[in-house]
Copies of this chain bind each other. A is one copy, B any other.
Amino acid sequence: MTENPFGHHISKQFDTELEDMRNRVLTMGGLVEQQIAQALQALIQGDSALAEQVIERDREVNTLEVAIDEGCTQILARRQPAAGDLRLVVAVIKTITDLERIGDQAEKVARMGLRLAEQERPKTQLMEIQHLGERVQRMLHHTLDAFARLDPEAAFEVTQEDEKIDYLYEGILRQVVTFMMEDPRAIRRSLDVIWAVRALERIGDHAKNICEYVIYLVKGKDVRHIGPEQVKQAVLGER
């Protein structure tokens, strides 16, 4: 674990504001985690009431995004942060955008759960979807941990998980396509399954983005759009 490079200011009030901002991001992250867990449960168990609840609660995610964003702009205007503090605020502005979009994906999974609950559900892929969903949840949880501890090494480890998620996703996709070809009457239903697993896969991409912001904010290096070896070097290189 990397030592927290922030939070040592002459102004105690500024420390509190930055700490508060980070805590709100984690609150938003916790809510989004819960949204995914419940959306997945609604999808797997065909629980329409739970699906409706997830769709309804997406508003709370949106409200948090707007509030944290506003707080960040206020900190930029009033505190004029420099160096690490500035990177923290910029990273938060980007992180909450990805968290909000993860929330949208959870809502999509819930919507597909709702549609599938009305149909004869394709029992064959449920176990695989559950498995993919659990991996995605774990990846997001590790992402939020890395953010909470401002740990770029942990963040780098998490980015590696995205590949496994893509692999699981591709596997389910192939199965569903085979299933569709065998039974064309199942095409509409199968497409709903495809939208749900694609939403789960997209969550992995957003989690990866957040990990890249964590590396940026601690290391000061932008590691987007570069290969894993270069990211590793950026994270571990200074030892």
Chain A interfacial positions (CB closer than 8 Å to B): 59, 62-63, 65-66, 69-70, 72-73, 76-77, 80, 82-83, 86-87, 90, 93-94, 97, 177, 180-181, 184-185, 187-188, 191, 194, 222, 224-225
Contact = CB atoms under 8 A, between A and B. Distances in A.
A73 B94 contact: no
Contact of A184 (B94, B181, B225): B181
> Binding site of A, secondary structure by majority: helix, strand, loop or mixed?
helix
Contacts of A184: 180-181, 184
B77 A82 contact: yes
For this chain, the copies found in one complex come to 2
Contacts of A225: 59, 62-63, 65-66
5 shortest interchain CB distances as A-B pairs: A62-B225, A80-B80, A184-B184, A181-B184, A66-B222
Contacts of A181: 184-185, 187
A94 B188 CA distance: 36
Contacts of A76: 76, 86, 90
A82 B66 CA distance: 19
A213 to B, nearest CB: 11
13 contacts: A59-B225, A62-B225, A73-B90, A80-B80, A90-B93, A93-B94, A97-B97, A177-B187, A177-B188, A180-B180, A181-B185, A184-B184, A187-B187
A59 B225 CA distance: 8
A216 to B, nearest CB: 9
B82 A224 contact: no
A77 B66 contact: no
A69 B91 CA distance: 11
Contact of A66 (B66, B177, B224): B224
